[in-house]
A and B are shown apart, each in its own frame.
Chain A
Amino acid sequence: MEAGTNYTAILFFFIFVGATLVITYWAARRTKTTEHFYAAGRSITGFQNGLALAGDYMSAASFLGIAGLVAMNGFDGLIYSTGWLVGWPIILFLIAEPLRNLGKYTFTDVVAYRLKQRPVRVASALGTMAVVLTYLIAQMVGSGTLIKLLFGLDYTLAVIIVGCVMMIYVLFGGMIATTWVQIIKAGLLLGGATAMALIVLSKFGFNPINLFAQAASTGCDPAAPAGSQMFCYGQKVLEPGTKVVTGAWDAVSLGMALMFGTAGLPHVLMRFYTVPNAKAARVSVMWATIWIGFFYLITFVLGFGAMVLVGQKNILAVGGGGNMAAPLLAQVIAGDVFFGFICAVAFATILAVVAGLTLAGAGALSHDLWVNVIRGGHAPQHEQMVAARASSIILAIAAILLGIVFEGQNVAYMVGLTFSIAASANFPALVMSVFWKRFTTWGAVSSILFGTIATLVLIYCGPTIQLDLLGPKAPPAGSPADVVAAYQAAVAAIKSQWFYFPLKNPCIYTMTGAFLVGIIVSLLAPERSAQEGFAEVERRAVLGEPRGAAAE
């Protein structure tokens, strides 16, 4: 079902876009060098950057997706909530400070620091682009579908609007505008979600346990057809189900991808260069962890609130496979205006995330590839700015085209793919370059390439593509026995093919493999200059850049 045009939501959305465009105009006048364009002049405070990180990271997939998952399955949504948070302490302990002290604009700066620039930067830019493009597809496809539901706009039009507004932010306002868009969005999302959770809890004596109890004791959805077992919640909503986690290894592998993938997302890592020093980088992760954790706890309450107050059948009835749980809850508890507000916040959420992604992609294309590979690290400032802006336009157009081409794709698996590549291609190379003295140029290149290619191949050979996308459609319940048997035989035939890979998420193999490949290749062909450079890496990771080097 498609919603009628939602004017309140569109009004709120225009207010948001208007305000952020004013900020972009202000930011554009301050964006004169690449230091401003990529790193906001390193003038963002730790607290501000913490909010911006939260705004960069809390995607519509995690807000609408987790609320929907909880509303439809109860407990299982918590597996994603925790997974998406626990990567942050890892970033804090292992990555944030050395990253800030060793790099300039991109995480590739750190990987390439004491290695041969050209091969490492080409490989690392490839890893970055793989993550940025898959995540952009997920966000753009998700946004088109959502906006169709939320605002009643045409899919293609929605994708073009998102792409164009995001391009204006990035092209003119660079990191300064993107940062403030993300801060505003984080404030709106946290404020809106908190208000909703408070209203929901006020109906249950401000005790979430009463809310869970209500969900567990609701026999069957009153809106469900009589005799149907489909929408009966019962005590199982408090227990782990089979929806998210099908097998033990799948659970472990998914956990790895969520945890270490977060620490390998280029748009998140890039934000650490916007603060003045390592201490501010540290403080910003602390705030990001606090906000994001708080947000996921609230989302869990919202999911249960939607299950009880909206009802599973009503959520499914509007389409979007459960994604509309949170907006519908807003409508039920506080009316159409609040519904419009939450819809607009969801839209703003998408804009903030794609702007961050585009900036990270532009960093890889222009800073890593154009300036450091093609121009050997020596390009005049104005040429660097032209390259940065041209890359932003290329990425924005790519985002729009990919969004249109991939219409109707399964967004959840694209997100899984993104985190798997980030954990397998980017995280191992980054960690080894900072921690391991004997890491070499070819160790880094082979580790990144292995991580990227192995993830793509294994996901292609896995159940998501082979069974869910290419495989036979499951027959509806109550089909004749021979139809069911034929379906089961077809599935078994696919599963027995030599290339079939049984895990939905290959991270446990690909990330471990990327570490092993990096270690073996490095040990087989030692690189003296890389070892000699390690003392400086160690010193600079602790102390920061030499005095005077910053004023470049």
Chain B
Amino acid sequence: MNEAEARLHAVAAKRWRIAIWLSILMLVAYYGFILLVAFDKPLLGKILASGTLASGVAVPGLSLGILLGALVIVAAWVLTLVYVNWANSKYDHEIHELAHLRG
């Protein structure tokens, strides 16, 4: 195996490591949410913030469950952007230098 081939392997292995770690983070975030839904409903029903009615009265408006659900969606965005940023700058650059291996 020559030097370029070894570099290709290293780059590929690095991408898989990052991909798998990000996948695990996504799984943890989502399953954390789902398992709380399944096992600890009262906790998710905990009220975090109040909203104001038209009459000006403040009443419970935001539960932990709704906040966490929205955060799962935000987490999906953040992880996606982290990966795309890394891949577009670092990974593509490395691949470009190894393009002659395509044969």
Contact = CB atoms under 8 A, between A and B. Distances in A.
- The judgment on whether A and B are partners is yes
Given A238-B47, A238-B65, A546-B102, A93 B73 contact: no
A248 B45 CA distance: 17
A94 interface: yes
A210 interface: yes
Interface centre among A93, A94, A240, by most chain B C-beta atoms within 10 angstroms, is A93
Contacts of A240: 37, 41, 44-45, 65
A205 interface: yes
Interface string B62-103: 110110011011101101110110011000100100110111
Contacts of B84: 92, 282-283, 286
Interface centre among A81, A297, A543, by most chain B C-beta atoms within 10 angstroms, is A543
B45 A238 contact: yes
Interface centre among B37, B42, B84, by most chain A C-beta atoms within 10 angstroms, is B37
B60 to A, nearest CB: 6
Interface stretch (A174-182, A213-221, A443-451, A472-480): A213-221
Interface in A79-102: 79, 81-83, 85-86, 88-90, 92-94
Interface residues of A, number: 58
Given A248-B39, A252-B35, A539-B8, A75 B19 contact: no
Contact of B95 (A78, A94, A211, A542): A542
A238 B69 CA distance: 11
Interface in A342-364: none
A293 B45 CA distance: 23
B49 to A, nearest CB: 6
Contacts of B88: 279, 282-283
A543 B98 contact: yes
Contacts of A286: 80-81, 84
A293 B57 CA distance: 32
A482 interface: no
Given A78-B69, A251-B38, A543-B102, A213 B60 contact: yes
A259 interface: yes
A239 interface: yes
Q: Chain B interface: which size bin? A: 35 or more
B23 A94 contact: yes
Contacts of A212: 51, 61-62, 66
B41 to A, nearest CB: 5
Prevailing SS type, chain A contact patch: helix
Contact of A82 (B35, B73, B99): B73
A251 B83 contact: no
B76 A94 contact: no
A504 to B, nearest CB: 13
Given A78-B69, A297-B73, A547-B103, A216 B23 contact: no
B76 to A, nearest CB: 5
A377 interface: no
A437 B36 CA distance: 37
A293 B26 CA distance: 14
Given A216-B59, A238-B45, A547 B52 contact: no
Contacts of A259: 27, 30
Given A210-B52, A238-B65, A543-B99, A89 B23 contact: yes
A539 B49 CA distance: 52
Contacts of A541: 12
Interface centre among A78, A240, A251, A546, by most chain B C-beta atoms within 10 angstroms, is A240
Interface string B11-42: 11001100110110011011101110111011
B53 interface: yes
A289 interface: yes
A225 interface: no
Contacts of B76: 85-86, 88-89, 289, 293
Contacts of B60: 213, 216-217, 235, 238
Contacts of B103: 546-547
Contacts of A339: none
A220 B69 CA distance: 26
A546 B50 CA distance: 60
B26 A86 contact: yes
Contacts of B87: 279, 282
Nearest to B51: A213
Given A78-B65, A79-B34, A210-B52, A293 B77 contact: yes
A150 to B, nearest CB: 28
Interface in A252-274: 252, 255, 259
A542 B8 contact: yes
A240 B33 CA distance: 11
A79 to B, nearest CB: 6
Interface of A: 75, 78-79, 81-83, 85-86, 88-90, 92-94, 204-205, 207, 209-214, 216-217, 235-236, 238-240, 245, 247-248, 251-252, 255, 259, 279, 282-283, 285-286, 289-290, 293, 296-297, 300, 435, 538-539, 541-547
Interface of B: 8-9, 11-12, 15-16, 19-20, 22-23, 26-27, 29-31, 33-35, 37-39, 41-42, 44-45, 47, 49-54, 57-63, 65-66, 69-70, 72-74, 76-77, 79-81, 83-84, 87-88, 92, 95, 98-99, 101-103
Nearest first, the 6 closest Cβ-Cβ pairs linking A and B are: A213-B51, A213-B61, A239-B45, A78-B69, A248-B38, A238-B63
8 contacts: A75-B66, A78-B66, A89-B22, A89-B83, A209-B61, A213-B50, A251-B38, A279-B88
